[in-house]
Amino acid sequence: MVLPAIQYGVTEFGRNFPGTLGVSPAVMSALVAEVLLAAHAAGASSLAIANAHLEPANLAALFEACRIVKARSGVDVHFPNVGSRRNSERLARVATAVDGHSGRYETSLMLAISPRRVVGHRSLPEVTADLGAGIVAGATTFEEAGGPRAYFGAPAVATAEMGERLLDELGALLAEGLGDGR
């Protein structure tokens, strides 16, 4: 069973951009935990989170949701953090590294999933600022991390084919934790 996506997350890094809507980490943790607990109560024997939003506070909220589910039900939630060094290196071997917000990685995924929603990426110059390094250095917004237009990396070189390879590997990461053996 695959549940519908939760369309909200913790969006502190994008808070300065018009239209950015987010929830607090506490609300995110509680919402995800409640949905997972309801799925378990409805008979789901294995639980997992597929997540593409790598903002540190959002990741922390999701890990907290996993902790809440474990504490209340005894069930472990599989949550492969694609931003971890191991998983990021694995994705880079298959297609491309996670290069920050709206870069080659995320744009390739979008080109594979919904190409009509990707507009203007071919004209964007590469942003060489490292979002991860900015976060480690204490940045709390995209601008502070060196991305004044909220993107990093090279979205202009993204391809749908790269996105398809990424989707396959992301699916494998999820399936492995659920015992699928992929």
Residue 109 pLDDT class (50, 70, 90 cuts): very high
CB 177 within 8 A of CB 57: no
Mean pLDDT of the chain: 93
Residue 82, pLDDT > 70, answer yes
| The two three-digit tokens of residue 89, written as one number | 């290196």
Q: From residue 114, how far is each of 19, 23, 91, 109 by CA, in Å? A: 20, 25, 20, 8
> Measured between alpha carbons, how far is 98 from 84 in angstroms, rounded to an integer?
10
Q: Classify residue 78 by its DSSP letter.
A: E
- Tell me how far apart the alpha carbons of residues 164 and 111 are, in angstroms, rounded to a whole number: 9
Element at 77 (helix H, strand E): strand 77-78
Find the helix packing angle between 160-177 and 85-94, rounded to 10°: 140
Cut 0.85: pTM above it: yes
